[in-house]
Structures are given as structure tokens and as C-alpha cells.
Amino acid sequence: MSGRLVIVGAGQAAFALASKLRALKDDRPITILGSEDVLPYQRPPLSKKYLLGEMTFDRLLFRPEQWYTDNNVEIRTSAWVEEIDRVAKTVRLQDGSTVVYETLVLATGAEPRSLPPGIGGDLQGIFTVRDKRDADRLMEEMRPGRRLLIVGGGYIGLEAAAVARHLGLDVTLIEMADRILQRVAARETADAIRGIHVSHGVSIREKTGLVRLNGDNGHVNTAELSDGSVIDVDFVIAGIGVTPNDRLAREAGLDVANGVVVDAFTRTSDSSIHALGDCAVLPWQGTQIRLESVQNAVEQAEAAAIVLTGEDRPYDPKPWFWSDQYDVKLQIAGFNAGYDETLVRIGTREGSLSIWYFRQGQFIAVDAINDAKAYVTGKKMLEGGINPDRMILADTSADLKQLLV
């Protein structure tokens, strides 16, 4: 159809793009350059079912190797891209080889932030959770009775805590902010999630930072906390956020702003280069956001495929997210940035509730805890631009379907 498409990165967005292009009967040659030594795979189960031993790695693969051969998609593993030459339209790999592109797509994802070496972050026994190698290393540590410290009370840290408790570890989670989930969820959601973890035996310490990690023979063994306590630890998981992998774009002179800046058509400041997924900063409702979710990676990639096949259709994300912790499913529809009001609705099932977010009177998001009906209803309202009747929403005896009429 046209010249070679090169995709840097081999995660969800990369696979979704290649798959959608082939579904659209686009037959241009495609090369996927992945830095890991395995075929593209799903990441979310790594820190849950894979770590728990409930899912083997082969079940995480998007497709077996034969799919790439059958669909004329060249997949190169252990391929580290060092540099983009926009004039020559090539990418240079770590081994010195180059790959020529007509269109380049950056699907480089994001990298977990590490604890600083100055406070003991370079000791052995300190982990982040992002890829298969991380999960494999952690699997060796997750043994009953061991003492785990989790630094960070966001979704990554909380999901890790749930897995560790399920496996019988002694878990302490610290969060230096006033409460867990402070950046991403309302106090009511945080209160519910905290209660679930405490009931499962996790020690959660809020307003508590990490002062220093100490070690013996180079391996972490104690943690000094900002509340003055010192606790014994066998290993540590850092869940302190991620940094978008935008180095290639920045060094190539593309526009970056805590991620690779793209327009509504996934194009960067160089029209022959696109960016997708966790590394991309996209326009949304008059602002710029970076969405770290499987949903966005897939839907933005599929939108890019449509653009690449010749139709300038803008990508208008309808964000949704989820988090599994113990037997609790938290489902989120919308994006709660800038909310100034919340409404809590108790669900019909025991332990179910939903938190509805408003900004200047307009419904913008919902957190649904074990409440699929609230999630589905909220998602439909957001997609349809419906602002719910507060009286119905507050009435727990009312059927949520009334809000869709």
C-alpha cells in the first residue's frame, strides 16, 4: 500500500496498531521493534494472575509467533532503538544497524520511577513492576511470611499489596500524601479501598514517607520512615509513578511535554511520525492529557490505523480504567480531573458503592466498586453527554436505568 511502517515499542498499542491495519486490509510492510526478548504480551495480568501463578506466560501473548509471519509483520525482539534520523528517515539500533521507515510510530510506553540511590534505592531487593522480567524477579520473593514494604499508595502499590497478602506476606504500605489515591480518586473511594486492605491485614501508613533504606551485604533489610519508626523488611516495591519514555522524540527534536505531544490524529510535530499509548500527550476537552491505560492504548492505536489508511478522523477518547484487588473490582469511567463535588451511592449488593464526580455541575466520572450497573450506566451517560438527575442518583431505591431515558 505504501512504504514501511516502523513501530518502536512492542506493547499493547504497538500490537493493536499492527492488528487493526491488517484488519483494514492495509498491506504495507510493518516492522515492530521491541526491547524485550519475548513476543508482545498483555501487561496488566503480570502483577496479578501471572504473579499469583494462576496464568502462564504463553496465555499473556497477544498472538503466537505464526500470526506475525502470516500477516507479514516483522517482529524484532531485543531491539533497542538508540536514535531517530528524521532527515534520512531511519532509526538506529543499539547494535549499530538501521531500519528505514516511511512512517514511524512511537509506542514506547512509560518507565516506573525508581527510588533514589541517595536513600538506599540502589540496594538489592528493591523492585518496580512493569514488565515480565520484573514479575519473574518478584515471583521469587513472594513467599509466605516475608516482610514487604510498598512505597506509594496508588493503584500499582495497592494491587501489589493485594497479591502479596493473598500469598501470605506481611505487608506495610506507606504513602507520603495525606491519603492513598490522593492524585487519582476522591476521599470516599480511598476510604473504601483502604478499608478493604486493612480488613485483609495490610498495614497502611498515610502521611508517612521513606527516609532511608538500609542494607546488609548490599541487600535491603530495614527502612527508616518519616514517622520516626524503623521497620524490618525483606524486600521493597516502589509504586511511585511512571515517567513517559520520550527520550527518542526529545533528542529527535519533536515536541515533548512530559510525553510526546500529538494532535487529534496521533501525529507528532513531524507528520511522518506518530505516537501512541502511555508515551503520548494528546488533546482532550481543551487541555492536554496523558492516559495510562490499556483502553487508551488500544483505542488510540485503532484511531491511528484509520488515519494511516487515509481517513483524517480525530481520536476523541472516552476514558475508562479498572483495578482488581482481592475479590474487589474497581471500575472507572470518565476522567475526574478538576472535580469539585462528589455524590456517593450505595449499591444493591453488599459492599458495592459508586462515587460520582461533578465539575461545575456537570457529571464527569464515576468510580464503581463491585457495582457493574453503576459503571455501565455512568459510562453510557458520559458517552451520550447525559447529566444525571441528582434526585434519582441519590435515591438508592431508584433504578439507574431511569437516568438514561
Q: For 285-326, what is each residue's pLDDT tens digit?
A: 889 999 999 999 999 999 999 999 999 999 999 999 999 999
**Grid cell digits, residue 235:** 524486600
**Grid cell digits, residue 376:** 455501565
Domains and CATH numbers, the chain: 5-111+243-308 (3.50.50.60), 114-238 (3.50.50.60), 327-404 (3.30.390.30)
**Whole-number pLDDT of residue 268:** 98
- Would you give the distance in Å from CA 287 to the centre of its chain? 20
**Whole-number pLDDT of residue 290:** 95
User: What whole-number distance in Å separates Cα of residue 309 and Cα of residue 359?
Assistant: 37
**Whole-number pLDDT of residue 252:** 98
**Whole-number pLDDT of residue 350:** 87
Q: Which of 311, 347, 342 shows the shortest CA–CA distance to 329?
A: 347
**Whole-number pLDDT of residue 1:** 53
**Whole-number pLDDT of residue 405:** 75
User: What whole-number distance in Å separates Cα of residue 268 and Cα of residue 255?
Assistant: 7
Residues of the chain with pLDDT under 50: none
**Whole-number pLDDT of residue 263:** 98
Query: pLDDT by residue (tens digit) across 190-223?
Result: 999 999 999 999 999 999 999 999 999 999 999 9
Q: Which of 108, 109, 110, 83 shows the shortest CA–CA distance to 95?
A: 83
**Grid cell digits, residue 405:** 431515558
Contact 16, 114 (CB under 8 A): no
3-state secondary structure 317-345: CCCEEEEEECCEEEEEEECCCCCCEEEEE
Contact 156, 47 (CB under 8 A): yes
